[in-house]
Chain A
Amino acid sequence: MRERYPTYPLLSAVGWLGFAGVGVLLLLVPIANLFVPPGSALHMPDYLVPLIGKYCTYAMLALALDLIWGYAGILSLGHGAFFALGGYCMGMYLMRQIGARGVYGNAELPDFMVFLNWKELPWYWQGFDMFWFAAIMVVLVPGILAFVLGWLTFRSRVTGVYLSIITQAMTFALLLAFFRNDMGFGGNNGLTDFKEILGFNVQAPETRIGLYLASVIGLAATFLLCRWIVTSKLGRVCLAIRDAESRVRFLGYSATGAKLFVFTLSAVLAGIAGALYVPQVGIINPSEFSPANSIEVAIWVAVGGRGTLVGAVLGAFVVNWGKTWLTGAAPDAWLFVLGGLFVAVTLIFPKGIVGLAQQIRLRREAPRAVAKPAEGD
């Protein structure tokens, strides 16, 4: 009789159940906002909808980073840059939608360009009045940048901490560039005062819920896409690269090709997340490129559990919820808490929350423990 071989389902039965459960919970948010009367304990206040929507885009960004860091061992400390680039592409579209409603009433030029005495729209702003064009750019700009950067570095076998430093340098360079007024992206102030998206008022509750739903769907789709990749043979090649890159090459695989693929895809996902983020927070400015932002993303992933997709999502929600709460309660404490988290995650629970939960479960099941590999999520 033939032995049964492992197959790799997208998600286990329990996994699908959890996926559906979280999905239902997230979909309850707008219902509790729209249909539950404000007096009720179950009512979801208006400000929470875009806040949770924002967390969803952060979770997408965390998934993007986990895909390359947790599975292929590429620690990008510049993923915030891809997120911000996607955000700027969306921001440019939103700026063009303002039209003549700006302070200066110029139908063609955004306010900051009028202020700088610019006479016409720079060439790289052309086309951004069309949503489809902006949407393509959201994918292309981060994708091409990541592809070029990846091609240059992976081909010359730059790995580990050197790669991390290069990605930090990239986001820092972009930070400085976007700060400049003559770059044409609004300098220090960035892009803001948005009015409409696809003809809908960005401030209207219905639009906010639409954007929220788009973020939830984006998160679900990103999760399933990443899951599909990590359960594919390519996912196992990535894990193999993480563990022993030269062995992968000597088996005849192009480690460079595999890394380039996941790195580029990851940057595209980060860009889409950024594009969903901007209309919900109503602004994009150069601070999104700050190196510290990208490091924070790595901390989300590490706290949740690197190398498990669920961990990345969990980490993004937990850390950002903590940040939101602390910024209200004790604004100065946040950086210390972040630093503390970083130390705790490296020294005390290197496998994050998910790893901790697995440990507790294993201990409970200790008597009948069998050496069975973790089945991912």
Chain B
Amino acid sequence: MVRPEMPGRLPGEPDPHLYLSGVTVSFDGFRALNSLSLIIEKGELRTIIGPNGAGKTTMMDVITGKTRPDQGEVFYDGDHDLSKLDEATIANLGIGRKFQRPTVFENLTVYENLELAVKADRSTFATLRGLVTGEMRDTIDRLFETIGLSDRRHELAGALSHGQKQWLEIGMLLGQDAQLLLLDEPVAGMTDHETAATAELILRLAQERTLVVVEHDMEFVRNLGAKVTVLHEGSVLAEGSIDQVQANQRVIEVYLGR
């Protein structure tokens, strides 16, 4: 498969980290994504907003292999066409995803959740032998420093608060050493204090990785200070800084002015 030409891209420019090209996904005739095209550069922090049902989660489903697009391609890091790969393969290419509803392994301890996430041979038989090396333990220690929760490491993850589960899930993505992080509504259900801490965490992570953050909370999006893409009815409505986007007449009509 030859990658189609990317609009507005100069010859010799490095490949974007992620390139969605004309992606369409229909559910029983209803187009959740409608010829969506999107370019995310390496190391970029991108926020994506849009009203409920705009297709934000579906877009993440397509990138991570959960949903196959009816049309279009998704290129990762050059020429990997993600629309042909399964979830596990895509994850092992370095894409990590936080679900809209925090999803951790509730019947494992916080430590065990991270242990499963930390990069290691994922094959079934390697897992059966499943040695935890000192290096993996150091990684887990560092993860605890990043996400907090150190004092709760031997508690079941199911006992964590909603916000703490979100952090644990982000910690798991870091553990798998994802280079492209997709965070679906990472501050939903968080207190103001937790939201601020999460914004700080995201900004810290953005220094080393590519992040795509889907969020409703305008204040939070503003705090991140990154480029904003507005999705509407499955395609891009507007793109730019938060101020530009908020001043955009069409955006005001469909989203902000509701």
List A contacts of B129 (CB < 8 A). Answer: 232-233
Give residues of chain A (201-239) contacting chain B, Cβ–Cβ below 8 Å: 229, 232-234, 236-237, 239
Query: In the complex, which range does the number of interface residues on chain B fall in?
Result: 35 or more
Q: Decide if B122 touches A253 in the complex (CB within 8 Å).
A: yes
Q: Decide if B109 touches A373 in the complex (CB within 8 Å).
A: yes
Please tell me which one of the listed residues A6, A242, A250 contacts residue B96 in the complex, with CB atoms under 8 A apart.
Answer: A250
Any A CB within 8 A of the CB of B56: no
Any B CB within 8 A of the CB of A257: yes
Report the Cα distance A244→B116, complex, angstroms.
13
Please tell me which one of the listed residues A237, A249, A371, A372 contacts residue B116 in the complex, with CB atoms under 8 A apart.
Answer: A237
Please tell me which one of the listed residues B130, B154, B172 contacts residue A232 in the complex, with CB atoms under 8 A apart.
Answer: B130
Given contacts A6-B154, A244-B105, A371-B159, A251 and B130 within 8 Å (CB-CB)? no
List A contacts of B130 (CB < 8 A). Answer: 232-234
Any B CB within 8 A of the CB of A327: no
List A contacts of B92 (CB < 8 A). Answer: 252
Interface membership of chain A positions 355-377, coded 1 if the CB is closer than 8 angstroms to chain B and 0 otherwise: 00000000000000001110000
Any B CB within 8 A of the CB of A246: yes
User: Which residue from chain A places its CB closest to the CB of B172 in the assembled complex?
Assistant: A251
Given contacts A239-B108, A244-B103, A246-B103, A232 and B159 within 8 Å (CB-CB)? no
List A contacts of B156 (CB < 8 A). Answer: 371, 373
User: Which residue from chain B places its CB closest to the CB of A5 in the assembled complex?
Assistant: B137
List B contacts of A233 (CB < 8 A). Answer: 115-116, 127-130, 132
Query: In the complex, which range does the number of interface residues on chain A fall in?
Result: 20 to 34
Please tell me which one of the listed residues A5, A251, A261 contacts residue B91 in the complex, with CB atoms under 8 A apart.
Answer: A251
Please tell me which one of the listed residues A6, A237, A250 contacts residue B127 in the complex, with CB atoms under 8 A apart.
Answer: A237
List B contacts of A236 (CB < 8 A). Answer: 105, 108, 112, 115-116
Report the Cα distance A260→B91, complex, angstroms.
20
Any B CB within 8 A of the CB of A247: yes
List A contacts of B96 (CB < 8 A). Answer: 250
Interface membership of chain B positions 86-97, coded 1 if the CB is closer than 8 angstroms to chain A and 0 otherwise: 111001100011
User: How distant is B130 from chain A, measured CB to nearest CB, in Å?
Assistant: 3
Any B CB within 8 A of the CB of A243: yes
User: How distant is A308 from chain B, measured CB to nearest CB, in Å?
Assistant: 13
Give residues of chain B (121-179) contacting chain A, Cβ–Cβ below 8 Å: 122-125, 127-130, 132, 137, 154-156, 159, 172, 176
Q: Decide if A240 touches B87 in the complex (CB within 8 Å).
A: no
Any B CB within 8 A of the CB of A258: yes
List B contacts of A248 (CB < 8 A). Answer: 116
| Interface-centre pick from B88, B103, B123, B156 (highest chain A CB count, 10 A) | B88
User: Which residue from chain B places its CB closest to the CB of A231 in the assembled complex?
Assistant: B130
Given contacts A6-B154, A240-B108, A251-B117, A258 and B127 within 8 Å (CB-CB)? yes
List B contacts of A5 (CB < 8 A). Answer: 111, 132, 137
List B contacts of A255 (CB < 8 A). Answer: 88
Top 6 A-B residue pairs of the complex, sorted by shortest distance between their CB atoms: A233-B130, A252-B91, A249-B87, A257-B124, A252-B92, A240-B105
* A residues adjacent to B (C-beta < 8 A): 5-6, 229, 232-234, 236-237, 239-240, 242-244, 246-255, 257-258, 260-261, 371-373
